[in-house]
């Protein structure tokens, strides 16, 4: 994409920032964004899509007040909490910029990185990923499970989800339009971002600790988030049970043959209770796990066929 040559061709940048109980971060976030983008505000138009994802504190009131000082802010107020994936989806739907950048409102995504993203975008890249260089702000269990998720995803998914890359990225308008065409209800945005493709490059950054507030993501939510990602972009968990069932059946056939030969050679023995219970429990456990995997996929099919909207907007505040 060619560089801007005159003021009539000014491009617009859209920042998409989900807010959930981030009252104390509203003002610092907007101040840091404007300070970081000050060198290019004369070159680009700017809009900041702030999605209030059903916050229970004073986030909405803080966003209303912020609009008095930052007219570029547009507030999308949800009717309830729909989750971060829905908030990002709404932000993409309402964004009108030539480049759209989802960014966390907790200030762990440095706004200063946007200048480097814009430089890569102007050089012709359609997606610029922000990759974290460390996970020192995460707990040990979160670091372990994140590494395990990316390793498992790499082997079982038909797309490659970049490791240590979250929602923070720059996307060209054509990329956003492609994402808006994807109408699935169970949305794992990292996977959808990777699925659409386009010319991509990476910039690195270091995550800083949160200054205000507390993350709403706990270990249980992260586990369900990872499960959503695996089931959204891989059918291997379903396919593997065909092979596992074949192995269990083969083992049962071999064991049956062994019992027949043993009976013919040594005569009939009273069967042992322990061995019988082990076989029953093993087979039952395998069946229940298989049913559970089927249930995960069936639940997602159930969600899709209901065709409910991903989010509901209560109010739009701003231009």
In this structure, of 18-27, 59-68, 128-137, 209-218, the range with the lowest mean pLDDT score is 209-218
CB 226 within 8 A of CB 156: no
Q: Please write the tens of the pLDDT for every residue from 219-248.
A: 555 556 556 656 565 666 666 666 666 676
In this structure, of 35-39, 94-98, 163-167, the range with the lowest mean pLDDT score is 163-167
CB 317 within 8 A of CB 64: yes
pLDDT of residue 305: 77
Question: What is the residue whose two structure tokens read 């992260």?
Answer: 222
Selection from 283, 89, 119 nearest residue 192 by Cα: 89
pLDDT of residue 185: 78
Question: What is the residue whose two structure tokens read 């505040």?
Answer: 317
141 pLDDT above the threshold of 70: no
* DSSP state for residue 101 in the 8-state scheme: E
pLDDT of residue 171: 92
Proportion of the chain above pLDDT 90, given as a percent = 20
Indicate the burial class of 110 (C-beta count within 10 angstroms; 0-12, 13-18, 19 or more): middle
Confidence category of residue 7, pLDDT binned at 50, 70, 90: very low
Q: Are strands 99-102 and 313-317 parallel, antiparallel or unpaired?
A: unpaired
Residue 147 has which token pair? 């590494």
Give the CB-side neighbour count of residue 149, counting CA atoms within 13 A.
24
Q: Please write the tens of the pLDDT for every residue from 181-209.
A: 888 877 777 878 888 888 889 899 887 76
170 pLDDT above the threshold of 90: yes
Q: Please write the tens of the pLDDT for every residue from 60-107.
A: 999 998 888 888 899 999 999 888 888 999 999 999 999 999 998 888
213 pLDDT above the threshold of 60: no
End-to-end CA distance of the chain: 28
pLDDT of residue 5: 42
Helical ranges in 125-203 per DSSP H: 140-156, 173-180, 189-196
pLDDT of residue 50: 93
Instruction: Return d(Cα 261, Cα 78) in angstroms, integer.
Output: 69
Residue 84 has which token pair? 């971060």
What is the pTM (predicted TM-score) of this model?
0.68
Q: Please write the tens of the pLDDT for every residue from 23-35.
A: 888 888 898 888 8
CB count within 10 Å of CB 46 equals 17
Q: Please write the tens of the pLDDT for every residue from 271-304.
A: 664 566 567 766 776 777 777 777 777 777 777 7
Q: Is 136 left (phi over 0), alpha (psi -120 to 50) or beta?
A: alpha
pLDDT of residue 193: 85
CA 63 to chain centre: 25
Q: Are strands 127-132 and 165-172 parallel, antiparallel or unpaired?
A: antiparallel
* DSSP state for residue 165 in the 8-state scheme: E
pLDDT of residue 82: 87
Q: Who wins on pLDDT, 316 or 215?
A: 316
Confidence category of residue 214, pLDDT binned at 50, 70, 90: low
Residue 246 has which token pair? 């074949």
CB 84 within 8 A of CB 53: yes
Confidence category of residue 42, pLDDT binned at 50, 70, 90: confident
Query: Dmax of the chain from CA atoms?
Result: 96
Residue 210 has which token pair? 């949160």
């Amino acid at each position: 994409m060619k560089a801007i040559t005159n003021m009539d061709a000014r491009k617009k940048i859209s920042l998409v920032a989900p807010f959930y109980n981030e009252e104390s971060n509203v003002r610092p976030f907007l101040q840091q964004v404007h300070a970081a983008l000050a060198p290019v505000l004369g070159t680009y138009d700017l809009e900041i899509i702030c999605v209030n994802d059903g916050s229970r504190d004073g986030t909405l009131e803080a966003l209303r007040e912020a609009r008095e000082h930052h007219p570029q802010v547009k507030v999308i107020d949800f009717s309830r909490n729909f989750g971060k994936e829905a908030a990002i989806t709404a932000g993409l739907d309402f964004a009108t910029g030539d480049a759209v950048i989802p960014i966390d409102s907790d200030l762990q995504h440095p706004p200063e990185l946007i200048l480097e993203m814009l430089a890569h975008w102007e050089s012709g890249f359609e997606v610029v990923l922000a990759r974290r260089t460390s996970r020192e702000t995460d707990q040990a269990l979160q670091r372990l499970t994140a590494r395990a998720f990316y390793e498992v995803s790499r082997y079982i998914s038909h797309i490659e989800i970049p490791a240590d890359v979250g929602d923070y990225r720059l996307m060209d308008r054509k990329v956003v339009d492609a994402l808006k065409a994807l109408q699935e209800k169970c949305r794992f945005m990292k996977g959808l971002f990777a699925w659409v493709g386009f010319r991509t490059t990476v910039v690195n950054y270091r995550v800083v600790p949160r200054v205000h507030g507390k993350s709403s993501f706990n270990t249980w939510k992260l586990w369900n988030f990872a499960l959503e990602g695996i089931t959204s972009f891989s059918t291997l968990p379903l396919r593997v049970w065909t092979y596992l069932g074949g192995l269990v059946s083969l083992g049962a056939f071999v064991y049956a043959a062994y019992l027949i030969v043993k009976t013919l050679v040594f005569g009939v023995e009273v069967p042992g209770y322990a061995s019988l219970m082990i076989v029953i429990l093993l087979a039952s456990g395998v069946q229940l796990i298989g049913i559970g995997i089927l249930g995960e996929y069936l639940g997602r099919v159930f969600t899709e066929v209901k065709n409910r909207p991903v989010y509901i907007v209560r109010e739009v505040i701003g231009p």
